[in-house]
Amino acid sequence: MKYAKTEAGQQAFKARSATLTPRQRSAFILFDGKKTTDEVLLMTVGLGVVEADVQHMVAAGLLAAVAPVAPAPVAQPAASDTEGASLTSLQQRYARAWPIATQITAGLGLRGVRLNIAVERATGYEELRDLLPKIREAVGVEKILPLEQALRE
């Protein structure tokens, strides 16, 4: 998940509000809407910043989620193993599956950082589908069922 500073967050930071602990201030600086939570946590691991710190900043209204950029629509029919589905249908599948895949891989914590980054960089159905075996291997058969269903429908 990607977060950006809110106006309230910037004001709290400038005012050195007690809402932000020193280690949270260090992480807060890094949230620019481009870096993922896992990337920020990886950069601040030496400071002891954890997911709970990020959730605190979100709950306090200091950070807000940044929506992923949807891929541009393409009017050509899909090729290979798409079962004749149009690209619009594949884009809809991608739009449903991407948040599920992001949530599943983000739940892996630091051991799944690279996989989470790969999921967040996936810009279309095929790229996300190609990551499915790696995600399945990382989380197991039960946890991947919602993602497989979203990619099939």
Of residues 73 and 97, more confidently modeled: 97
What is the spatial distance between Cα 128 and Cα 102, in angstroms, rounded to a whole number?
Answer: 10
- CA of 123: how far to CAs of 94, 109, 143, 147, in Å? 8, 22, 22, 16
Residue 78: the pLDDT is: 46
What is the spatial distance between Cα 49 and Cα 27, in angstroms, rounded to a whole number?
Answer: 7
Work out the pLDDT band at 57, boundaries 50, 70, 90: very high
Q: What is the average pLDDT score of the chain?
A: 83
Strands 32-36 and 2-5: antiparallel
Domain chopping of the chain, boundaries = 2-65, 87-152
Residue 146 above 70 pLDDT? yes
Nearest to 54 by CA among 66, 43, 41, 67: 41
